[in-house]
Amino acid sequence: MKPPKFEYYKPATLEEALNLLEEAGDDGKIIAGGQSLVPIMNMRLASPKCLIDINGLEELSYIKNEDNTLKIGTLTRQSDVEQSEMVANVCGLLAEAITQIGHVQTRNRGTIGGSIVHADPSAELPLALLTLNGSVQITSKDEVRTVAAEDFFITYLTTDIMPTEVLTEVTIPLMEEKSGYSFQEVARRHGDFALVAAACHMTVDDEGIITAVRLALGGVEAIPLLIGDAEDILTGEQLSDLLMEQVTESVEMESDPESDLHASSEYRMHLAKVLTKRVLTQAYERARG
């Protein structure tokens, strides 16, 4: 299991990286943490001709709270986010999700941007980003554009990013007062990709009326799936078994999970419904305080 040959470049600036990407065209590939890319290169399932290593771009490694928006540079290591008190204080869902990505040792190297661009449908970060109504900043030589998570994920391992572009920043609007969240998954073992994962972010008023809610699922479609109906069903209501039942009906309508060695399609669908109830219940309880 040795990787195929490639040319290697280590740009010192973002501009240099973008120039290299443009020159390389379809042959170019960014490497950041490498925790998803290098295994598939070692298995020779990926053979990029030209690797552009952005690990030297320290300007892309930061965690900031600006204008009530959490801004995380693409090169920030997952473990840095995990250990950030600020993230724990202002974005509990992200903090909770991140501990479930792989293992300590892969989080030490794996980056925020890398996981999102890899876009595995059961991965934690894409799901968290979608649930939190986050977006990504994408930079090319010609422009900087912002794409909402909802529009970013296209299909299995495929995103809106073009070969000449780099994901540079992840932004997440911060929680309001009286909000709650939940992130739960069922995996075969600790640290495995989820069979199904669910995440919910919710705000409630003093009477326990839900004022806003976002619910999303991982592992049930080719991309992390936002259950848009949840918003319509739950907003303006108190959480009840009946309403949760309605939400799970929407989950069933919108999901189309696949079967594999570890879980049948039917079981994944079942888990989607179970986890939907669990995250709604926990997020609601937390929001009510």
Partner 1 sequence: MTNVIGKSATRVEDKRLLTGQGKYIDDLGTKVSTGHAAILRSSHPHAYIKSIDKEAALKMPGVKGIITGEDIRGLVKPFSVGVMAPVEYYPLAIDKVRYVGEPMAIIVAKDRYAAEDALEKIKVVYEALPPLVGIERALEEDAPILHENVGSNIANHREFNYGDVDKAFEEADRIVKHKFNFPKYTATPVETYGVVAEYDPAHDQYTVQANFHGPFVIHSIMAQALQIPSNKLRIIVPKDIGGSYGIKAGIFPYIVLCGLASKLIGCPVKWIEDRQEHLSSSASGTDRVTYIEAAVENSGKVTGLRMKMIDNVGAYIRAPEPASLYRNHANSTGAYDIQNLHIDAYAIMTNKSPTGLIRGYGGQELYFPLERIMQEVAKELNMDHADVIRKNLVKEAQFPYKTASGGTYDSGNYEESFELALATGKYEEFRKKQEEARKNGKILGVGLACIVEPSGSNMGYITVALTPEERAGSLPKSGASEAATVSMDPLGSVNVRISTTPSGQGHETVAAQIVSEVLGLPREQINVVAELDTSTSAWSIASGSYSSRFASLGSSAIYYAAHKVRAKLFKIAADQLNVKEADLELEKGSIFVKNNPDKKFSVKRAAGLAHWHPTSLPDGMEPGIYETYYYTADVAQAPNEQDMINSSVTYGFVADMVTVEIDPDTAEVKIIDYFTVHDAGKLLNPLIVDGQIMGGLAHGLGGALYEELAYDKNGQFLTGSFMDYLCPTAPEIPNVTIKHTESPSPLTPLGAKGLGEGNTMSAPVAVANAVSDALAHLDIMIDDLPLSPTRIWKLMGEAKEKVTTP
Partner 2 sequence: MGKHEIEVTINGKVYQEEVEPRMLLSDFVRDVCGLTGTHVGCEHGVCGACTINVNGSAVRSCLMFAIQADGQQVQTVEGLTSNHELTDLQKNFIECHGLQCGFCTAGILMSTEDYLEKNPNPSSKEIKEMLSGHLCRCTGYDGIVKAIEKTIEERNQSVLS
Q: How far apart are the C-alpha atoms of 74 and 39, rounded to whole Å?
A: 20
CB of 60 to partner 2, least distance (A): 16
Read off the tokens for 274: 């179970």
Q: Total residues contacting partner 1 (rule CB under 8 A)? A: 24
| Backbone phi and psi for residue 179, each to the nearest 5 degrees, phi listed first | -115, 160
Q: In the set 12, 13, 15, 43, which binds partner 1 (CB under 8 A)? A: 43
- Of 177, 189, 207, 242, the residue at the interface with partner 1 (CB under 8 A) is 189
- Note whether 188 binds partner 1 by CB under 8 A: yes
Nearest distance from residue 77's CB to partner 2, in Å? 8
Q: 215-254 mask for partner 1 (x: CB under 8 A)?
A: ----------------------------------------
Taking CB under 8 A as the binding criterion, the range among 1-9, 66-74, 152-160, 210-218 that sits at the site for partner 1 is 1-9
Tell whether residue 37 is a contact of partner 1 (CB under 8 A). no
Burial of 171 (0-12, 13-18, 19+ CB in 10 A): buried
CA-CA-CA-CA torsion sign (76, 78, 84, 90): positive
Query: 196-204 and 144-148 as β-strands: parallel, antiparallel, unpaired?
Result: unpaired
Compute the distance between CA of residue 88 and CA of residue 174 in angstroms, rounded to an integer: 12
> Quick count: other Cβ atoms within 10 Å of Cβ 158?
11
Residue 279: HSE in the Cβ half-sphere, 13 Å Cα cutoff:
33
Return d(Cα 152, Cα 100) in angstroms, integer: 22
What's the min distance (Å) between Cβ of 264 and partner 2?
24
Shortest gap between Cβ of 59 and partner 1 (angstroms)? 34
**Residue 11 CB coordination number (10 Å):** 18
Q: Is residue 44 close enough to count as binding partner 1 by CB under 8 A?
A: yes
Nearest to partner 2 of 7, 15 (CB atom): 7
Q: Does 101 bind partner 1 (CB under 8 A)?
A: no
Nearer to partner 1, 178 or 270 (CB): 270
C-beta of residue 170 within 8 angstroms of C-beta of residue 69: no
Given the rule CB under 8 A, which residues bind partner 1?
A: 1-5, 43-44, 186, 188-193, 195, 261-264, 266-267, 270-271, 274
